[in-house]
A and B are shown apart, each in its own frame.
Chain A
Amino acid sequence: MAFLEFSHLHKEFSGSIAVQEFNLDVEQGEFISFLGPSGCGKTTTLRMVAGFELPSSGRVTLAGRDMTYVPPNKRNVGMVFQSYALFPNMTVAENIGYGLKVAGKPKTKIKHRVDEMLALIHMENFYGRYPGMLSGGQQQRVALARALAFQPQALLLDEPLSALDAKIRLELRMEIRRIQQQLGITTIYVTHDQEEALSLSDRIVVMSQGRIEQIGTPYEIYKTPSTEFVASFVGQLNLVPVKILDMEAKQGQLGEHIFQAGRLAEKFSPESPCLAVRPEEINLGHQDGHNNLQGKVESIHYLGSIVRIRVEVGEAHFLMDLFNDHKLIMPKVGENCNFNFPAEACWLI
């Protein structure tokens, strides 16, 4: 029996289905991300764990106990909100200690725990400050400490970093992972940012329109996406319509180029076959043994460490990501160029 189980979870809101047939087993101490675009049902599912939404059907079990209809204030899970939700009339210390105060713990114990938590988030000097005087990042750290202070069985985070600046987001991301691993607490993290999900999680649940698209480790999700949605949502992906020459040998044709694909996707659609290849797999120039194509450089996007080139091949176009090191020779817009990618790096979908 897994630590946290979702079984056949289903949620409807006056006619429209928010979550359907959601099944997941989470082991103790795992860091799971729910990843998907807005409206895919990830937050709704999280809220069903917290008790703020009741499922239309299905079950949620935590540590062997059926939690599906338990009131939210009796579930013993800690939640971190996107908007921090710190109580403005309480100091940092009072916020963090609130869960313990509500549970009737003695003052000395609360103080001790609060000190512990402040040390954990490296904010010892902020004991008596009010949330209004803190920056976004600081508030979110306090919110995290608050959610962990009363030692819940699981930690739930609802897009906790979306409201923060990019730099703070990066710092805080690592903080969250560090703390999670230090405490070993089972965590569910909801986000629409694939970079966050990929860098933080033990496993990712990719969702779209209320359904699970794929469950897997970050590596699996990225390298072997099982559906077109996952492939294009996680990381960049070139999806080029092609003609199939030989299904068995996974050979296809694009314009006058013949190419070899590495595999056939699970959800391959024969009516509209496409070639899928990640931009970072494509290189400039000609390489024996690889698929070699030719096209016209349509535009060049300078992204700092990466240069993204958009190449047109007849009607289709490819995005190519090249490392911006000193060896790079930049083509010119409008020029013809050769590019290549290995067969194993692409697939038919």
Chain B
Amino acid sequence: MNHKTRTSLWAWLWVIIGALYFFVPMYGTFDFSLRMIKGQISLEAYRVIIGDPLFQEAIVFSLEMAVITILISVILFVPTTYWIHLRLPKLRPVVELITLLPFIVPTIVLVFGLIRTYGGPPFSLTNTGETTNILLVGGYLVLSMPYMYRAIDVGLRSIDVRVLTEASLSLGSSWWDVILRVIVPNLRVAILSGALITFATVMGELVLADFLVRPALGPYMVEIGKDRVFEPAALTIFSFAINWAAMGLIAFFARGGTAQQITGR
């Protein structure tokens, strides 16, 4: 139709505005992070960060927590979602409602409740670092649950779970075999997507770690932000790079997955 050219101009305008909104802050931050040494472009800010023992402790801690969270969430959510698909389809709307709960209960409220419920006697989980980590991982699991569930749910819907299970069982495999050898391999992309989103979430999370006083990356960034100027910018780029890598890997494995897989909504 002949008004296509006019639409395209209008379209380009908004594309450029959108792109600018995305890129200017990122570019600005990147530029800023290179200016630690006055008058020259250098990676000094990054060197300082990487050399900081507190940073190393923080990133190791966050990585550990991320891995633990991912492992538990896969072991917990994959069989559950599979089971619901197969045996309790009536529960699906209930579970979908449950995946909305982390949104209804914002993280700040969640951490409040966790501390209040388990902080004092009889649990006293906030008394030591290790026991507090239980709450931390629990919180991370709650945060990542919607994304994980959605990713696996989408994956399960794209394969005919019932038929595969019945075929496998009729050929003589046990339940574990079915899960490990038939279902999980078909869910590889879904699980990977969920895992990567969880990873990015945990690495960038602040509220839980801060209020539970654990040495994660988030609280470290807050500390650095208090009186340094260039290092925070470097940390931002670093954090952004983690997110980018995670999303990039998801896109690579999913080969053009849907927006739902990316945002988990």
Which of A's residues lie within 8 Å of B, judged by CB?
51-52, 54, 69, 71-72
Q: Which A residues touch B2, using CB under 8 A?
A: 54, 69, 71
6 shortest A-B CB distances, which residue pairs? A72-B1, A71-B2, A52-B1, A54-B2, A71-B1, A69-B2
Main secondary structure on B side of the interface with A? loop
Q: Which B residues touch A54, using CB under 8 A?
A: 2
Question: What is the 8 Å Cβ interface bit string for chain B, positions 1-13, against chain A (1 contact, 0 not)?
Answer: 1100000000000
Q: Which B residues touch A71, using CB under 8 A?
A: 1-2
Bound Cα distance A69, B1 (Å): 10
Which of B's residues lie within 8 Å of A, judged by CB?
1-2
Q: Which A residues touch B1, using CB under 8 A?
A: 51-52, 71-72
Bound Cα distance A167, B176 (Å): 50
7 A-B residue pairings within 8 Å (CB atoms): A51-B1, A52-B1, A54-B2, A69-B2, A71-B1, A71-B2, A72-B1
Q: Which B residues touch A51, using CB under 8 A?
A: 1
Main secondary structure on A side of the interface with B? loop
Bound Cα distance A54, B2 (Å): 9
Q: Which B residues touch A52, using CB under 8 A?
A: 1
Bound Cα distance A72, B4 (Å): 13
What's the nearest-Cβ distance from chain A to residue B4, in Å?
11
Q: Which B residues touch A72, using CB under 8 A?
A: 1
Q: Which B residues touch A69, using CB under 8 A?
A: 2
What's the nearest-Cβ distance from chain B to residue A47, in Å?
11
What's the nearest-Cβ distance from chain B to residue A131, in Å?
25
What's the nearest-Cβ distance from chain A to residue B89, in Å?
25
Closest to A54 in B: B2
Bound Cα distance A54, B1 (Å): 8
Bound Cα distance A280, B211 (Å): 87
Bound Cα distance A170, B160 (Å): 37
What's the nearest-Cβ distance from chain A to residue B130, in Å?
57
Closest to A52 in B: B1
Bound Cα distance A24, B75 (Å): 69
Bound Cα distance A331, B131 (Å): 88
Bound Cα distance A69, B2 (Å): 9
Closest to A53 in B: B1
Bound Cα distance A45, B2 (Å): 17
Bound Cα distance A71, B4 (Å): 12
What's the nearest-Cβ distance from chain B to residue A48, in Å?
12
Bound Cα distance A52, B1 (Å): 6
What's the nearest-Cβ distance from chain B to residue A191, in Å?
25
Bound Cα distance A54, B5 (Å): 14
Closest to B3 in A: A71
